[in-house]
Amino acid sequence: MRAAPASFAQTGLAIEIGPAVFNPGLPVLGGCAVENLFGAVHEIEAHGSIRLFRGDDWLLGAAAVEVTPTTLEASAHSLYAQLCAVTSGRHLARIWNYVPDINGTGVGGLENYRAFCRGRSLAFERAHGAGFSQLLPSASAVGCQDGRLTIAFAASAVPPQHYENPLQVPAYHYPEQYGPRPPSFARATGVPRAGREPAVFISGTAAIRGHATMAPESTADQLACTLENLRAISRVCGLGENLAAGVRTRHFKVYLRHAEDYAAMAAALAEELFTAHDHVSYVRAEICRASLKVEIEATLL
């Protein structure tokens, strides 16, 4: 793992897509300071707020728009409407969302994450109809210190396979206690690649069983539950018990609510999950539920 220079600890994780660099405001606590998942790609004509890129078999895109609690839901709806339009004829495989003040209170007392989820869900429904949940890709949504709502996505030319964790209720089936519209994502997505192993995207994974948060008072216990969930989705995706450790090129982001948990989490994950060849970024971020302290995502390319 490449160490994070001191400057990135101040400026945050740099997300590279071809010639573009996006900085959603995630302070780096350790590991890689720069994330570049797709290598050499070239920028093509933008669509509205979304900058677009092509590389290999991928259509990639990213956008960052200024939001306030009063405009967050409408901005999410607008960005996702653009995303659906620009990926028409392709298949969404992965979406990353960085939401300012994600656990804060917005319009009418609704949590910002729940307002974001409603805007996203309504945009998907308008584009794809009432059965849109069958098309939902892997995704993550975490809080950021930037004042902009930032999204990035990868879409493929070939149909992917979306997976659910048998230990968890699909997010798009969460009951109303989690908001007026449930989150819109699958737990993982696999994309066939000609002559190569499939690309696999594991969504942001945390200590949720069924639909309930586990061990809200203990970061260590939440990590143990998160690792069990990762092992379960790894098996479903055909990657064995440990996400093809030592076999595939693996990229991870570890989101920590509390920076002081970094040393203990890094030590535990070095024993339980990561190998010396993995690309890992530890960042400080609010997570979609205020009761969650750690979330882990993975990308295997």
Catalytically active residues are 295
Q: How long, in residues, is the chain?
A: 301
The token duo for 97 is 């969302």
Distance CA 277, CA 258 (A): 26
* Among 104, 35, 38, CA closest to 72: 104
Residues 6+ apart with CB under 8 A from 299: 37, 94, 199, 200, 201, 202, 250, 251, 252
The upper half-sphere exposure of residue 35, i.e. CA atoms within 13 Å in the direction of its Cβ, equals 25
* Among 121, 113, 120, 111, CA closest to 143: 113
> Is residue 244 a contact partner of residue 231, using CB atoms and an 8 Å limit?
no
Residue 215 C-alpha from the chain's centroid: 22
CA trace torsion 252, 253, 257, 258 (10° rounding): 70
Which backbone phi and psi does 8 adopt, to 5 degrees? -75, -25
- Element (H or E) spanning 192, and its range? strand 188-193
